Amino acid sequence: MAKRGQVLRQWSLRAAPWIGAVVLWYGIHASGLVSASLVPAPHQVGAKFVELLHKEGLLFDIYVSTRRVFVGVALGILAAVPAGFLLGWYKSAHALANPMINFFRALPPIALIPLVIVYFGVDEVAKLVILFYAAFFSGVIVMYEGVSQITPLYIRVAQTLGASEWEIFRKVIIPLTLPHILTALRVALGVAWATLVAAELIAAQRGLGALIQNAAAYFLLDVIYVGIICIGVVALIMDTILRRITARLLAWQERASPLR
């Protein structure tokens, strides 16, 4: 009984912010402070969601955007992990590449769209390049910061016990860097979803970013709300899945318990 009450309390705490957001949304819609035509009510957005789902292929748009983000993040992290490891582990690599990494990290992906179109055209590759760019530079910074904080004590202990370089890499370095790899993946995933609309500015016919852009051209605010909410929900689902995978893979790692 106590366990059931605890579960109910946890679900109530999780649902409370969403219920509060919907109530606030209805309040703003009904208050008259903002024109009701500029703030569609939640039930109107819900009705438009159902309509787009059944008649306009919204599910396919979600799939297209999710696939783009997944591929862009996967490629970005595959490149960011070794790059971040080199920057964090070797001082010479850090001194050589860090200024350039920080230079490109400061450039917003949307500023590169004209050059991406020139060099890669307007096909799918161009959109993936933008997402790769966003994922790589966010991931490489997380990897660098994490790897640079690893204490050499573990390496020296393994060497003292007679471990070979391969054993040190496999049994010491990889477990120590795994939390940073997973953190880099989560950060890159969030940045990629935030960059999605910019990526789909490049002549995209389908996708949530394209849906929002097309709706903005015709001032279809309820469609814009649907696109924004879909991006947030899909990103939240992907992050939740990744957090659960992280919890399983890092079950050995001691973590501070949250305050109750």
Q: Please list the ranges in the chain whose pLDDT falls under 50.
A: 256-259
Of the candidates 180, 85, 185, 82, the residue with the CA atom closest to the CA atom of residue 135: 185
Residue 203 backbone phi and psi in degrees, to 5: 50, 35
| pLDDT tens digits for range 34-54 | 887 788 889 999 999 999 998
On whether residue 114 sits in a domain, the answer given is yes
Query: What is the pLDDT at residue 252?
Result: 64
* Measured CA distances, 93 to 83, 90, 96, 100, 135 (Å): 9, 5, 5, 11, 21
Domain with 81 in it: 40-249
What CATH number is associated with residue 196?
A: 1.10.3720.10
On whether residue 258 sits in a domain, the answer given is no
| pLDDT tens digits for range 213-237 | 889 888 899 999 999 999 999 999 9
Query: What is the pLDDT at residue 38?
Result: 85
Query: What is the pLDDT at residue 166?
Result: 77
Contacts of 117 (CB under 8 A, 6+ apart): 126, 202
- Does residue 1 sit in the same domain as residue 61? no
On whether residue 256 sits in a domain, the answer given is no
Q: How far apart are CA 57 and CA 215, in angstroms?
A: 15
- Does residue 120 sit in the same domain as residue 228? yes
Query: What is the pLDDT at residue 253?
Result: 63
Q: How far apart are CA 128 and CA 68, in angstroms?
A: 6
* Measured CA distances, 244 to 98, 105, 188, 197, 238 (Å): 32, 29, 17, 27, 10
Of the candidates 33, 111, 81, the residue with the CA atom closest to the CA atom of residue 179: 81
Query: What is the pLDDT at residue 259?
Result: 46
- Does residue 72 sit in the same domain as residue 108? yes
Q: Domain count for the chain, please give it.
A: 2
On whether residue 255 sits in a domain, the answer given is no
Q: How far apart are CA 46 and CA 125, in angstroms?
A: 33
Query: What is the pLDDT at residue 254?
Result: 57
Count of other CB atoms within 10 angstroms of residue 20: 10
On whether residue 18 sits in a domain, the answer given is yes
On whether residue 89 sits in a domain, the answer given is yes
Query: What is the pLDDT at residue 256?
Result: 47
- Does residue 176 sit in the same domain as residue 105? yes
On whether residue 145 sits in a domain, the answer given is yes
The mean pLDDT of the chain is 85
